[in-house]
Amino acid sequence: MGPLGELVGEREATVELPDQSKFRDLLDYAIKNFVPKFPKALYVDGQFRMILMLNQRDIHEEKDADRPLADGDCLYFIPPIGGG
């Protein structure tokens, strides 16, 4: 399990949302249930400060908010990586 999973207390979670849910609905769920466990620097001023990927493709909170979700979609939270 990576550092973010250790902070949240789980590596992955299965989320059930109503039919015809949109990406914004999934984000709302994540904000309510997982963000309080994130380091504060990863969610600032109402925006994630990390890469979000849906089914291994970049997705953006505002631009893709109305994207319909499908059964089996996977959202990944990828914290910033430092190094050199």
Q: What is the pLDDT of residues 25-64, one digit of tens each?
A: 999 999 999 888 888 889 999 889 999 999 999 999 999 9
Task: Write the single-letter amino acid at 70.
Answer: A
All structural domains of the chain with their residue ranges: 3-78
Query: How buried is residue 23: exposed, middle or buried, by Cβ count under 10 Å (0-12/13-18/19+)?
Result: buried
| Contact status, residue 26 vs residue 34, Cβ threshold 8 Å | no
- CATH architecture entry for 3-78: Roll (3.10)
Measured CA to CA, the distance from residue 75 to residue 53 in angstroms comes to 6
The pair of structure tokens assigned to 58 is: 């970049």
pLDDT score for 12: 85
Measured CA to CA, the distance from residue 1 to residue 9 in angstroms comes to 9
